[in-house]
Amino acid sequence: MTHPTPISALLSLFARVCVAVGLVAGAGAAQAERLKDLATIQGVRGNQLIGYGLVVGLDGSGDQVRQTPFTQQSLTNMLSQLGITVPAGSNMQLKNVAAVMVTTTLPAFARPGQTLDVVVSSMGNAKSLRGGTLLMTPMKGADSQVYAIAQGNILVGGAGASAGGSSVQINQLNGGRISAGAIVERGVPTTFSRDGYIHVELNNTDFGTAQNVATALNKKFGQGTATALDGRVVQVRTPMEQASQARFLSLVEDLQVARAPTVAKVIINARTGSVVMNRTVMIEEAAVAHGNLSVIINRQNQVSQPDTPFTEGQTVVVPNTQIEVRQDNGSLQRVSTSANLADVVKGLNALGATPQDLLAILQAMKTAGALRAELEII
């Protein structure tokens, strides 16, 4: 047996100390986050815009006019605005036009002339918008006022082809985007400071984080600067000069704030079998037994023919069905008390359960009081 030399022992100890210091520093850095990642300024928000328009230039993949009469009506109205009269009762058999809805978000402090990205979605029975061009579409807000005008070539991320009754498609063909496809015609006044105060709204309600925000602001700008009104809103006193408010808010957003420990929560998606948990989840010591019950139905068709040839017997098909019920033995597994996420995952993996099985196991552990977390099923 070899004994480590003093130098190797010293190096080993130094390495362990460095790793421990790095872990502590990493944990401390992970706790502190920028205020702009935790909260927003009250009043600084975007506004949803929507518009109805037409897409032209499609390669025979547009709306079928008989099934979508509003497409023909919209095209007739647009042509009349351009000075072209369509005879009444005429049936235009168009295959390269599609009716679409256009959506975008008007950001805060938007000014006329600024460009926006828009999303174009088919609302008829068009097969594809690939290669189409959106015609001039007014974008309206909730007050029915026009705030932007959209137009341009649509970029569709999908692809598809069909021939001889067979077809193949990749991703979605009935929707696309137009980068810088809308031009802002007028902005929305944004007011974020009233009587020398602004309100910082946290993304998630948490009294501990709200108090940490107020403490960090008072430490940075002096006592009395910030006050936590509740678990979501922090009131901050700002300079009265308009020119100094933008600089002050930039310093507020870059302030490092320690996030309070979040509520232990386990999110379960029953449709996909996904299980997601945060790092504050804890489990108490428990014993779990879980077995799978499966039913196997096997049906085979057998042909029954007469034994003697040249007789009046008849060949018939006789179905042979076998039903088997199989249950896997579920052994009793011990789950030890775990205080961190790594131990929780290790303990659950020791059960050898699939994600679908974990749904039932976690619900049973919650009922038994062994799961120290809030269980949410989406």
Going from N- to C-terminal start, the domains of the chain cover 47-159+169-184, 193-258, 265-302+318-377
Nearest to 86 by CA among 78, 94, 98, 95: 78
The distance from CA 145 to its chain's CA centroid, rounded to whole angstroms, is 30
Contact status, residue 359 vs residue 274, Cβ threshold 8 Å: no
Residue with tokens 């068009």: 126
Q: Residue 256: its pLDDT value, please?
A: 93
Residue with tokens 């678990």: 231
* Alpha carbon distance 266, 275 (integer Å): 7
For residue 111, is pLDDT > 70?
Answer: yes
User: CA 251 → CA 93, 247, 259, distances in Å?
Assistant: 61, 7, 18
Model confidence band, residue 85 (pLDDT cutoffs 50, 70, 90): confident
Model confidence band, residue 321 (pLDDT cutoffs 50, 70, 90): low
* Alpha carbon distance 330, 111 (integer Å): 65
Residue with tokens 């014993």: 287
Contact status, residue 268 vs residue 359, Cβ threshold 8 Å: yes
Residue type, 45: R
Q: Residue 151: its pLDDT value, please?
A: 96
- Average confidence score pLDDT of the chain: 80
Nearest to 133 by CA among 59, 80, 49: 59
Residues 6+ apart with CB under 8 A from 44: 108, 109, 190, 192
Q: Apex CA 149: angle with CA 119 and CA 184, to 5°?
A: 95
The CA dihedral of 94, 97, 98, 103, to the nearest 10 degrees, is -160
Q: What is the pLDDT of residues 334-376, one digit of tens each?
A: 666 666 666 777 776 776 677 777 778 888 888 888 888 888 8
Section 215-229 average pLDDT = 94
DSSP three-state, residue 29? helix
User: CA 42 → CA 193, 236, 239, 260, distances in Å?
Assistant: 9, 11, 17, 22
The token duo for 9 is 């022992």
Out of 175-189, 200-214, 336-350, 361-375, least confident range: 336-350
Contact status, residue 55 vs residue 97, Cβ threshold 8 Å: yes
pTM of the predicted structure, to 2 decimals: 0.69
What class, spelled out in words, does domain 193-258 have in CATH? alpha beta
* Alpha carbon distance 33, 37 (integer Å): 7
Contact status, residue 239 vs residue 246, Cβ threshold 8 Å: no
* Alpha carbon distance 357, 294 (integer Å): 13
The token duo for 272 is 């996909």
The token duo for 10 is 């010293």
Contact status, residue 106 vs residue 183, Cβ threshold 8 Å: no
User: Is residue 263 left, alpha or beta, with left meaning phi > 0 and alpha meaning psi from -120 to 50?
Assistant: beta
* Alpha carbon distance 169, 160 (integer Å): 4
Q: Residue 97: its pLDDT value, please?
A: 93
Out of 147-161, 246-260, 277-291, least confident range: 277-291
